[in-house]
A and B are shown apart, each in its own frame.
Chain A
Amino acid sequence: MRAVMARIVQATVVAAAVCSSLAAQQPASSQVTAQDLRDGLKNPTRWITYGGDYGNHRHSPLTQITPANVARLTPQWQFQTDTLGKFEAAPLVLDGVVYVTGPLDTGWAIDARTGRQIWRYRRDLPSGLIACCGLVNRGFGVLGDRLFKTTLDAHVVAISRKTGAIEWDTAMEDFRHGYSGTTAPLVVKDKVIVGVAGAEYGVRGFIDAYDAQTGKQAWRFYTTAGPDDPGHGTWRGSDPKAWEHGGGSIWVPGAYDPELNLVYWGTGNAGPDYSGLEREGDNLYTASIVALDADSGKLRWHYQFTPHDTWDYDSTQMPVLADVTLGGQLRKVVLFANRNGFFYVLDRATGKLIRGKPFIETTWAKEIRADGRPILLPNSVPSDEGTRVCPDQSGGTNWMAPSFDPALGLFFVTARESCGIFFTWKDDYTPGEAFRGGAVQRLVETQSSTLRAIDVTTGERRWEFPYTSQSWAGVLSTASGLVFAGGSGNVMAFDAKSGKNLWHFQIGSSLYAGAITYLVDDKQYVLMPAGTTLTAFAIAEF
């Protein structure tokens, strides 16, 4: 027995020596630091936040693929999931490995050179899930050697980047009451910041921060103002508890300004979606953008895009932070193409409106006043007879991420033209049951979509490319003057200055996510998640 033990000890020592010797010859697995996250795309072998950088520009410095050679962009590999449902995630790339989440709480680590799977994660979901709008996920966050994600049963989990194993698992709320998690986390310093979806089920929305090491909750900000919160008086009407099931869900990640130490999150529609009698008043902080202190979660400012929303105009689009010259002055702003059809420029230190201008046809509001409030048009409120309003409930844009090219000063967004007949009726709140207070009939003949380039200094449209069907594609741009987007299953590349279509590839599925790009072995790849497939493109070598 002693001899056996001795041999085991000896073998272990030898193995340790081999490991140690091997480790000395090879680069260490890189740890993602808070500074790395701040650096965004400075290291173009990486894509480590949902929006590429904390400002969510989704604009890569890579220039290997250009307007001159993009016609030779060719698929290099494809990865097919073994899961029904669709990608809505932004993949992360680090050290030559792609980390991506899929539908039904799945995730993979994949070789960024070849598309070969390294590990697979799949959550054992409970029965009776309630998630109104697709069993999807929008991606991982990363810090150290951990990945983080929200789950459909309203948890947030930390996963080992090396193995895909769960390292901590914290419940945000009770999924049986309509709460779910689909947003990608925003990781700031030592915190993982997330939120919950479920406004169609009468949830009370919130933004949560969790300690990246332990999973312990650090702070919570409720997106409907409770009795002790400023703004509670904006919940009036026949239901005194309306704020308790007033929506304001969080399902697309926010942005972060390290200098101001503020995180910016767009908040979802008020609930019930189409019925406002029970909740008269502005219904803060639904359909808004909130700027929170990243350390404490305290509200620094808010701006409400759609006061007293009765059109399901979630403001859960991705906020874009930019420094732009307006009226001869360099301004630190938030750019926000909203589901309600207006393109907003806000001062990101104060939340004051600089400009709000329609980027599609809107009939719910005439314009945005200088004080920031919209001027509503008559006959724009849902009714039991039906009210025609543009845009429809899916909005002028939605979760699909825009991109921003600072050199050109252009904001590229998938813009949807649409109108619908909005109906309202009385709904009673029951935990876990649909709570919409109405519905919308889409008017098919009004539906179309385009990729639009908006000049951020004027708010004017610079160019557009019309799609033949409603697109849900996110946008990516590059410093070489390219924009990647698409529609009708076509991944497309455009000249950023003119909007001229330069390349397309029919990928075989509608696009519900946006491409990302990365460099590995000095070769630039464009990676497109679509349907159940990831496709990596690069310039063909003949």
Chain B
Amino acid sequence: MSRTVAVMAIVLTIAFRPVHGRAPIAQDRVAPRADARPTKNPLEGNALAISNGAAMFRNRCAGCHGPDAHGFLGPDLTGFWGAGGTDDRMFDIVRRGVPGTEMIAADPLRVLDRDIWQVLAYIRTLGAVPATPPTGDAANGERVFRANCSGCHMVNGRGGQLGPDLSRIGSARPRAGLAGKLRGSSAFIRPGYEAVTLVTRGGERIRGIKKNEDEFSVQVMDTRERLQGYLKANLAEYTSDKQSLMPVYGSDRLNDIQLDDLLRYLTGLRGGDATRQ
């Protein structure tokens, strides 16, 4: 055992091993530790933890938060502490997930407490991009949203259902990702919202989003929000489209000021009334 490993082993032993004599079992790991775990990262600055945490981050987090944690589909993490966030709070977010977003809870049997601390130790080494003051007018952004988006997207119970519910989109997506999506990126389409085109044997052409599919059938919501299943044997054509059904909002349809206002509104949507946040 190398010295670093030995030191880390001691740290982990102090931090995580139960005090009673027998070997730890799953329930012991979950319940008592949740209460007894430290509120400050015991592995902050630990070289091996940072190295392990980097690999774990790339594996488990980078797909959404970007390779440098500056945000991609999910939000920038590097500014979390600068904005007043604590280790304790970040640990809870990772362990419990964020409801209504793709950020799922970390299963204690697969992701140990020490894994989370190692990832946090790594993220703390990444340079935070200074937060830019928010711009745009959320109230006007909501008007832009109602005029252009709510036909397909619901917010707080109002709007259409062809696209994803955006009531918590401010917790799930960074501003840059939302801007890219509006301007036409189909780089990521949420499962359950892939566009399909069907042509029946009678010649009817149907555009919609695919809700499910098997070897013999496909289930779609068409652009009029009609849910319907189709047997593939009864279709003359069936194609999965690479492009999202969402129209491209170029500067001809949404100027930079309107975009700015809309982004201010969207990034404030965290499950409550956005105009009051």
Contacts and interface: CB of A to CB of B under 8 A. Distances in A.
B26 A469 contact: no
Contacts of A490: 214-216
Contacts of B215: 466-468, 487-488, 490, 492, 501, 504
B153 to A, nearest CB: 24
Most buried by B among A132, A177, A425, A467: A425
A438 B51 CA distance: 12
A291 B211 CA distance: 48
Given A384-B55, A423-B55, A424-B55, A434 B112 contact: yes
B68 to A, nearest CB: 13
Given A129-B26, A468-B214, 14 more contacts: A127-B25, A127-B27, A128-B26, A130-B25, A132-B110, A238-B2, A421-B59, A423-B59, A425-B56, A426-B52, A432-B26, A434-B109, A440-B59, A466-B215
Interface string A404-426: 00000000000000000101111
B24 A426 contact: no
Contacts of A487: 214-215
B26 A130 contact: yes
Given A128-B28, A384-B51, A489-B214, A176 B22 contact: yes
B256 to A, nearest CB: 33
B55 A431 contact: no
A425 B55 contact: yes
A69 interface: no
Interface in A153-199: 174, 176-177
Given A426-B5, A440-B59, A488-B215, A130 B109 contact: yes
Contact of B213 (A239, A384, A439, A468): A468
B236 interface: no
B9 interface: yes
A386 B109 contact: no
Interface string A432-446: 111000111100000
A130 B109 CA distance: 8
Contact of A430 (B22, B24, B48, B214): B24
Contacts of B52: 425-426
Contact of A425 (B26, B51, B112): B51
A316 B267 CA distance: 48
A387 to B, nearest CB: 11
Contacts of B9: 428
B34 interface: no
B49 to A, nearest CB: 10
13 contacts: A174-B23, A176-B22, A425-B55, A426-B52, A432-B26, A433-B24, A439-B60, A441-B60, A441-B63, A467-B215, A488-B215, A490-B214, A501-B215
B29 A433 contact: yes
Contacts of A467: 215
Contacts of B59: 386, 421, 423, 438-441
Contacts of A433: 24, 29, 112
Interface string B1-15: 110010011001000
Nearest to A420: B59
B100 to A, nearest CB: 22
Contacts of B262: none
Contacts of B2: 238
Interface in A479-506: 487-490, 492, 501, 504, 506
B213 to A, nearest CB: 5
A488 B232 CA distance: 15
Interface string A463-482: 00011110000000000000
A487 B214 CA distance: 8
B24 to A, nearest CB: 5
B221 interface: no
A430 B16 CA distance: 11
Interface string A385-398: 11000000000000
A492 B216 CA distance: 11
A422 to B, nearest CB: 9
B214 A488 contact: yes
A466 B24 CA distance: 45
Question: What is the predominant secondary structure among interface residues of chain B facing chain A?
Answer: helix
A287 to B, nearest CB: 22
Contacts of A434: 109-110, 112
B138 interface: no
A384 B25 contact: no
A75 to B, nearest CB: 17
Nearest to A421: B59
B72 to A, nearest CB: 14
Contacts of B17: 430
A506 B214 contact: yes
Interface in B19-56: 22-29, 48, 51-52, 54-56
Contact of B5 (A428, A438, A440): A428
B207 interface: no
B58 interface: yes
Interface in B182-237: 213-216
Most buried by B among A238, A431, A432: A432
A428 B8 contact: yes
A501 B2 CA distance: 59
B22 A384 contact: no
B6 to A, nearest CB: 10
A52 B95 CA distance: 44
Interface string A109-133: 0000000000000000001111010
Contacts of A468: 213-215
A466 B215 CA distance: 8
Nearest to B29: A433
Contacts of A385: 55, 58
A128 B27 contact: yes
A156 B22 CA distance: 23
A285 B24 CA distance: 28
Contact of B25 (A128, A438, A489): A128
Interface string B75-101: 000000000000000000000000000
A426 B26 contact: no
Nearest to B28: A128
Most buried by B among A130, A487, A492, A501: A130
Interface in A356-402: 384-386
Nearest to B191: A444
Interface string A489-529: 11010000000010010100000000000000000000000
Contacts of A176: 22-25
Contact of B24 (A238, A431, A469): A431
